[in-house]
Amino acid sequence: MSPTLHSVVTTVGGILAGLALAGALLWRQQQALTTARYDATHDEVTGLPNRRLFLTYLRAALAENRPVGVVLLDLNQFKTVNDTLGHDAGNDLLDQVGRRLNTISTPVRVAARLSGDEFALLVAGDRDDTADAAHTAWQVISAEPIRVVNGTLRVAASVGYTHHQHTPTSTRQLLTQADAAMYEAKRSGADVREYAAHRTPTVRSRDRHH
């Protein structure tokens, strides 16, 4: 091979190697960005959408100006599970609850974990659809014992829901209403409660709903 040809081959080889390295670095950066975006919008324990992503979906649903419902629920005696069986069991329980909620089909658009043992459903439908989703959520959690790392647990939930149709509202207002209904269910010992302005006080609802 002539010196000139050898120089050309060497140069081309160096360029190709550089392009391959640059491509690999770009792929890794894209993968890291995708992972970071996923982590920012999904719950690490259940893999469900987190509060941020749920609010994004809820805002989009309200912008469509179509009937929409919000269902909130939390697990009764969840703190006792953590205190007596440990956080691994608690995380197992949250994961299994998330899986069960994620099986609820249309008209439930999104199942999310908001924080702690609190979960939410976004319902694309009318008042009856929202009520059905709320009762279904209670049933799928309570129907069968849930297996955790060191045993099985019978779990119950307190469920509250509200519905929006054609009147101006906000994400915070809907979450506040569903939150109030959920705590009314917890206080009264009921399984599921619908928000009613004449009956359901909102003072218990928390400012975390933004």
Catalytic residue annotation: 117
Q: By the 8 A CB rule, do 98 and 157 touch? A: no
Tokens of 104: 């609820």
Distances in Å between the alpha carbon of 142 and those of 44, 52, 54, 190? 24, 27, 24, 13
Q: How far apart are CA 104 and CA 136, in angstroms?
A: 8
Tokens 């694309």 sit on residue: 124
Instruction: Give the phi and the psi of residue 182 in degrees, each rounded to 5.
Output: -65, -45
Q: How far apart are CA 109 and CA 37, in angstroms?
A: 21
Q: By the 8 A CB rule, do 87 and 117 touch? A: no
206 three-class SS: coil
